[in-house]
Amino acid sequence: MTQKNNLPCYLLLLLLLWLAACSVQAQENDVPPAYQGMTPPTSDFLTDPANIAGGQKLYRQHCAACHGETGHGDGPAGQVLALKPSDLTDPNGIAAKSPDYWFWRVSEGGTAEPFHSQGSIMPAWKYHLSEQERWQVISYARTL
């Protein structure tokens, strides 16, 4: 009895898994046209101490329950969610994203794809926070 060589099947499976992962990664990195190139109100907005302080207050009020006080995605409310909140401090994750990506994610929350289909229940903060307040939250979150 000869043993069949399954190496081609395994290689094909690995290739398909890699392509699927690339597809999801591309979707998560794509900023919709409505948000592409969006920038804060001023060039120093994200580093201005007053904006960071205002963002810290808003973050603690609206974001820390899920994302945690230090942004690691370990807030008490986040512990019970099926899809865990993003670790905002991950240098290979959201922390490395562009300002327009952050603004899109904060504005649209879990209503945006592919996050909605993954089970995200993050609120769309555009309905609750002004544009300036969203940039302030981003300015603080980027310091974590």
| Residue 22 clears pLDDT 70, i.e. is over it | no
Domains of the chain as residue ranges with CATH: 32-141 (1.10.760.10)
Assess whether pLDDT exceeds 50 at residue 15. no
Count CB-CB contacts under 10 A for residue 55: 24
The residues near 69 (Cβ < 8 Å, ≥ 6 apart) are 60, 75
pLDDT tops 90 at residue 24:
no
Cα 19 to the chain's mean position, in Å?
Answer: 21
Q: Which helix (H) or strand (E) is 25 found in, with range?
A: helix 7-29
**What single letter denotes the amino acid at residue 3?**
Q
Residue type, 23: S
Euclidean distance between CA atoms 88 and 72, whole angstroms: 6
In this prediction the pTM is 0.77
